[in-house]
Amino acid sequence: MTTAKIKKQQEILEAVVIRFVGDSGDGMQLTGTQFSDTSAMFGNDIATFPNYPAEIRAPQGSLYGVSGFQVHIGSIEISTPGEDLDLLVCMNPAALKTNLSALKAGHTIIIDTDSFTKKNLEKALYASNPLEDGSLNNYRVIEVAMTSLTKEALKDMGLDNKSITRSKNMFALGMVYWMYDRDMNHTLEFFENKFKKNPLIAEANSKVLKTGFYFAETLELIPNSFTISPSKMPKGTYRIINGNQATAWGFLAAAEKSGLELFLGSYPITPASDILHELVKHKHFGVKAFQAEDEIAGITSSIGASFAGDFAITTTSGPGLALKGEAVGLAMILELPLVIVNVQRGGPSTGLPTKTEQSDLLQAMYGRNGESPLIVIAASTPADCFDWAYEAARLTLEHMTPVLLLTDGYIANGSEPWKIKSINEMPPIKHKQISGGDPEKWNVYDRDAVTLAREWAIPGTKGFEHRVGGLEKDKTTGNVSYVPENHEYMTHIRAEKVERVQNSIPDLKSDFNDEGDLLVVGWGGTFGSLHSATKQLSDEGLKIGHVHFNYINPLPKNTEAIFSKFKKIVVCELNNGQLASILRSKFNDIKFSQHNKMQGLPFGVSELTEKFKTLIK
Amino acid sequence: MTEATKYTFKDFASDQEVRWCPGCDDYVILRSMQKALPEMGVKKEDVVFISGIGCSSRFPYYIDSYGMHSIHGRAPAIASGVKLANPDLSVWVITGDGDSLAIGGNHFIHVLRRNLDLNIILFNNEIYGLTKGQFSPTSLIGQKTKTSPYGNTQPPFHPGELALGAQARFFARIGGNTPKEMTQLFIEAEKFKGTSLIEVLQNCVIFNDGCFTQYTDKAVREDKQLHLEHGKPMIFGKERDKGLVLNGLKLEVVTIGENGVTESDLLVHDAKESDSTLHSMLVRLEYPLATGIIRAVEELTFEAREEALTNEVKANSKFSKVDDLFLSGETYEVE
């Protein structure tokens, strides 16, 4: 919006990683989101990583109350939120203490010096003030009395002290906007809309943002600004989307495409609640989003809705899936369509609710009584949650067996540009509801010869009245059956039905190399890190490939063929080796190495490249 | 219902062999239901029975309509999903005292609180039958069972009290050996818009035989039960000479003709009174045992609230297709 009055030097960069950190009440998530949205609209590729504590307002200034938002922007393809920071924006000592190690040596920290009080330093367990004791000598420190400058800027506006100090995050954002040559317009418009009913607050935030921007422009401590050119993304209309929103929208699209009404039975749980929050908004599409009394009622109400003819889903995270286990088995033996979404978080038990992990894979595969195989698929990036939610819908509606869709906290909360899809370009979904026909020639458990899916006769359909239940049923009529051979037959047929899904899914593809020294194997939300690390080494000339599983049960048909083309295979997971154990059980003759991390954090690209290099040697 | 679809009870009998113990009250309940269904004016294909686990929960297999025998305690939640998916259906929940008051207690109270237009039949036999004789949440103190060989030490729930506490709009109680009244009650429950809960005092001939005999035996029934009717005085007894009056904060049994008491002194039953105080007192009463419709207070159902809200949102929405949503708000072009 403005052209700099004092022209400083401008340097062009390919990509930068910026992290905004402060107290959980400092508005770091909003600051980061504004910066990433603005950058995306400028044309950069982006990836974000919000990292916040489980406590809503942890005690001010404490180490565990630090909330952060990391964003990676580039003129090149960006597939992770980045690792080593180019810029760290720190609102208090606790934020500095917990985040400094991620900053590259010689790079910049912007610090609100007003928050470096004796009390805050003590809370952050600093024995001496890092701004004075030389411990930041290896970095370029920009000390700004941000709180005082904000107060000064707003002193005549008649605002209370709390509202004034709350807008200091916009001072920091203004500075970063200047440093990276960003336009302030998007954020100014955002204030106007957000504070429509309170124009004074909108004006205050705008004023502080601009004050920060001009402050950076004139400050001699910042010798130059940087620009990151727009990236070469495919032409089209884009929006920024996070994984939970993309998941919700994928289901909306599937409901419209299939012509069925969407029913969600759910119970609030971190980090899955945002899917429920999104779907409750869409009554205009006839979405029935039902907040139930517990996890079990969440899934069982969905089973009821599915029995009655809706496209039903339930959303949860690990502990909730454990509670739903028995009901998942019911949906499976009834052979009704149902999608169960598990936005994984750190476990076991309550574990790390706001942190990411991939440790529910075995629960998804086997976490039920009896022989109860499900279709298990996983999304791999924030935006592709849309496609995998849609695919989960297609599979469950066409194959008449529940689908378990795995995402995780990292891609659920992370965001990236989504090239907007139209319903017209999505594949068709052919559900199995009976609309007519002769009930005399129909049996409840008659099956499609190809998929083995049964037909879906819903209440209200005359002549097709029938009973189903959790007891083992006769292979044809569905009536209760204790016949030994029938039970064995049904056990096999339910498993085979899932296996036959192989015929309706694409082959696995190896990126970068089809054969070579090392195959990197991953699944789900680690795609970005594994892709970046493998690309880097492949560019260096190493014979390295990457396969990423989205279909886990069943696995794509050509899985073994791809594995056999590589000398070594390493299975990388944010758990203790769950996919590795599945692969070992299926492919006896193949040796799988593992790389595992269980810190509630995503993989860093450099830790991966290091590991892969040692494996290739 | 059109003229063409006039059903008889046979239309609602499935081809499955009924497998309850000989002499079980469940047969009475099944037969009463099969007689009631043709009188309700609902189409057979629009009737759905959902049950949990227990002896009672085999019920849906024997009714020729849509049905699901589900998992322990969850029938109210499953039925809620059915009703929300298709509010035009007549949805019935079949449950027992263990199923609804122990493992499914949470769903039981919440389904009553929400007030969907469902009908719940609670077969109360004060024992676990299908698992062969353990005490249930309605078993009495001192009751000897497989898991209380020296006598039960857990105080029982009174289903009606629990239901009223959970804001039940319709609560009725009926002896398991009175098919005629039961049939009528099922028809009334279906007519009522909102969650109807019917507690059937159901004798378990094997594990708790005679548990309700003191109230339900033909010889004592009229003397021990007060069969409530809306708008009628609370009168009972073989001789129709006993009645209830309010004495301070307690119900008191009086005899007509004694101490100058006349029929006009008796309380008149008002099932439609929204204040549940008197209904709660009737529910707790041990002599006489109140049967019939104790409470029937209609208010907007959950699905009606949802429907109204959905229509309002639809009328004011700028979105008719998901594409409208995807392209709304902040989007940007990459050239």
Q: What is the CATH number of the domain that holds B187?
A: 3.40.50.970
Query: Per the structure, how many domains does chain A have?
Result: 3
Helices A168-179 + A146-154 axis angle, to 10? 110
User: Position A19: which residue type?
Assistant: R
Of A14, A20, A12, A15, nearest to A175 (Cα)?
Answer: A20
For residue B4, the model assigns a pLDDT of 52
Question: With bands split at pLDDT 50, 70 and 90, how would you rate the model's confidence at A24?
Answer: confident
Interface mutation target, options A262, A300, A477, chain B, most CBs of B under 10 Å: A300
**What's residue A436's pLDDT?**
83
Taking residues A398-421, report their average pLDDT. Answer: 97
Question: Is residue B335 over pLDDT 90?
Answer: no
Range of the domain at A354: 239-425
Same domain, A52 and A148: yes
Whether the pLDDT of residue A2 is over 50: the answer is no
Of B14, B43, B70, the CB nearest to A470: B70
Q: At what angle do helices B105-114 and A295-307 cross, to 10 degrees?
A: 70
Measure the CA–CA gap between A68 and A31, rounded to whole angstroms: 10
In a domain, B280, yes or no: no
The amino acid that residue B319 corresponds to is: F
Residues A256 and A223 in one domain: no
Residue A560 shares a structural domain with residue A413: no
User: A320, A343 in Cβ contact below 8 A?
Assistant: no
In a domain, B334, yes or no: no
Residue from B19, B56, B59, B66 whose CB has the most chain A CBs within 10 Å, to mutate: B66
Nearest C-alpha neighbor of B146 from the set B160, B133, B165, B137:
B133
Q: Is residue A222 domain-shared with residue A355, that is, in the same domain?
A: no
A189 touches chain B (CB under 8 A): no
Return the closest-CA partner of residue A10 out of A228, A224, A229.
A224
Instruction: List the CATH number of the domain containing A143.
Output: 3.40.920.10
**Cβ separation of B77 and A300 shorter than 8 Å?**
yes
| A166: its two tokens | 């709350």
The answer to whether the CB of A363 falls within 8 A of the CB of A398 is: no
Query: CA separation (Å) from A160 to A171, A191, A201, A204, B33?
Result: 18, 18, 11, 11, 68
Q: What is the rounded CA–CA span in Å between residue A290 and residue B198?
A: 26
The residue out of A228, A254, A282 marking a domain boundary is A228
> Cβ–Cβ of B326/A249 closer than 8 Å?
yes
Average pLDDT, chain A: 95
- Answer whether residue B121 is part of any domain: yes
* Best mean pLDDT range from A433-437, A588-592, B2-6: A588-592
pLDDT tens-digit readout, B45-87: 999 999 999 999 999 999 999 999 999 999 999 999 999 999 9
Report CB contact under 8 Å: B82, A230.
Answer: no
Q: Cβ(B43)–Cβ(B1) under 8 Å?
A: yes
Q: In what order do the strands lie in the sheet with A236-242?
A: A415-419, A236-242, B332-334
The count of C-alpha atoms lying within 13 angstroms of the C-alpha of A215, restricted to the half-sphere facing its C-beta, is 23
Question: Which of A425, A459, A479 is at the close of a domain?
Answer: A425
Distance separating alpha carbons of residues A384 and A95, to the nearest angstrom:
32
pLDDT of A339 above 70: yes
In chain A, residues with a C-beta closer than 8 Å to the C-beta of B331 are 237-239, 420
Are A296 and A409 part of one and the same domain? Answer: yes
Nearest by CB: B313 against A283, A292, A334: A283
Instruction: Tell me: pLDDT of A433 over 60.
Output: yes
Q: Which residues from A are below 8 Å from B310, CB to CB?
A: 283, 286
* Amino acid B268: pLDDT: 98
Q: Based on the structure, what is the number of domains in chain B? A: 1
Residue A199 has pLDDT above 80, yes or no: yes
Q: How far is Cα A278 from Cα A555, in angstroms, rounded to an integer?
A: 31
- A162 and A258, same domain (yes or no): no
pLDDT of residue A8: 65
Q: Give me the sheet containing A262-266, strands edge to edge.
A: A288-291, A262-266, A311-316, A339-344, A403-408, A375-378, A551-553
Q: B322, A296: Cβ pair inside 8 Å?
A: no
Nearest chain A CA: its distance from B170 CA (Å): 21
For residue B14, the chain A residues in CB contact (below 8 A) are: 467
Percent of chain B with pLDDT over 90: 98
- Asked if residue A153 and residue A42 are part of one domain, the reply reads yes
Q: Which one, of A585, A519, A594, lies nearest residue A552 by Cα?
A: A585
Average pLDDT, chain B: 96
- Could you tell me the two tokens for B91? 């949805």
Output the CA torsion A585→A586→A591→A594 (10° steps): -70
Q: Which residue of B has its CA nearest to A230?
A: B334
Would the CB atoms of A230 and B313 count as touching at under 8 Å? no
Give the end of a domain, one of A390, A425, A460: A425
Tell me if B258 is assigned to some domain. Answer: no
Mode of pairing for the β-strands spanning A45-51 and A375-378:
unpaired
Q: Is A370 within 8 Å of chain B by CB?
A: no
Question: In terms of Cα–Cα distance, which of B314, B296, B306, B71 is closest to B189?
Answer: B296
Distance CA A320, CA A344 (A): 10
- The answer to whether A263 contacts chain B (CB < 8 Å) is yes
A 230-259 residues inside an 8 A Cβ radius of B: 230, 233-240, 249, 252-253, 256
A195 and A273 housed in the same domain: no
- Determine whether the interchain pair A327/B46 forms a contact, defined as Cβ–Cβ distance below 8 Å: no
Q: Which of B16, B42, B70 to mutate to test the interface with A (most CBs of A within 10 A)?
A: B70
pLDDT of A3 > 60? The answer is no
**What gap in Å lies between CA A295 and CA A297, rounded to an integer?**
5
CA A36 to chain centre: 16
> Does any domain span residue B245?
no
Tell me, yes or no, whether A445 lies in a domain. Answer: no
Distances (CA, A) of A601 to A34, A202, A372: 23, 35, 31
Do A392 and A322 belong together in one domain?
A: yes
Nearest Cα residue to A242 out of A412, A455, A434: A412
In a domain, B123, yes or no: yes
Cα–Cα distance measured from residue A538 to residue B197, given in angstroms and rounded to the nearest whole number: 68
Nearest Cα to Cα of residue A114 among A40, A172, A160? A172
For residues A548 and A418, state if they share a domain: no
Closest by CA to A93, choosing from A42, A128, A140, is A128
Q: Do the beta carbons of residue B169 and residue B85 sit within 8 Å?
A: no
A435 touches chain B (CB under 8 A): no
Asked if A288 and A149 sit in the same domain, the reply is no
Question: What residue of B is the nearest CA neighbor of A246?
Answer: B326
For residue A225, the model assigns a pLDDT of 81
Q: Which residues contact A116 (CB under 8 A, 6 or more apart)?
A: A92, A93, A129, A131
Query: In this model, does residue B153 exceed pLDDT 90?
Result: yes
pLDDT score for A10: 80
In chain A, residues 2-61 whose CB comes closer than 8 Å to chain B? 37, 40-41, 43
- Residues A277, A414: one domain? yes
pLDDT-derived band at A55, boundaries 50, 70, 90: confident
Q: What is the mean pLDDT of residues A434-460?
A: 96
- Comparing A7-11, A26-30, A242-246, B222-226, which segment has the lowest mean pLDDT? A7-11
A588 pLDDT band, cuts 50/70/90, is very high
Q: Domain holding A551: CATH number?
A: 3.40.50.920
Q: Sign of dihedral through CA atoms A508, A513, A515, A517?
A: negative
State whether residue A426 sits within 8 Å of chain B by CB.
no
Q: Which chain B residues contact residue A234 at CB under 8 A?
A: 334
**Is the CB of B81 less than 8 angstroms away from the CB of A421?**
no
A467-469/A403-408 β-pairing: unpaired
B160: exposed, middle or buried (Cβ count in 10 Å: 0-12, 13-18, 19+): buried
User: In chain A, which among 267-296 make CB contacts under 8 A with chain B?
Assistant: 282-286, 288, 290, 292-294, 296
Q: Is B68 helix (H, G, I), strand (E, B) or coil?
A: strand
Name residue A66's beta-bridge partners: A23
Rounded Cα gap, residues A248 and A30, in angstroms: 22
Q: How distant is the Cα of B63 from the closest Cα of chain A, in angstroms?
A: 9
Contact B329 A284 (CB under 8 A): no
User: Residue A1 — pLDDT band, cuts 50, 70, 90?
Assistant: very low
- Does the CB of A229 have a partner CB in chain B at under 8 Å? no
> Taking the model in full, what pTM does it have?
0.95
CA distance A142 to B335: 37
Q: Which structural domain, as residue segments, surrounds residue B114?
A: 3-225
Answer whether residue B309 shows pLDDT above 70. yes
Is residue B137 pLDDT above 90, yes or no? Answer: yes
| Cβ–Cβ gap B107/A293 under 8 Å | yes
Q: Is the model's pLDDT at A485 over the cut of 50?
A: yes
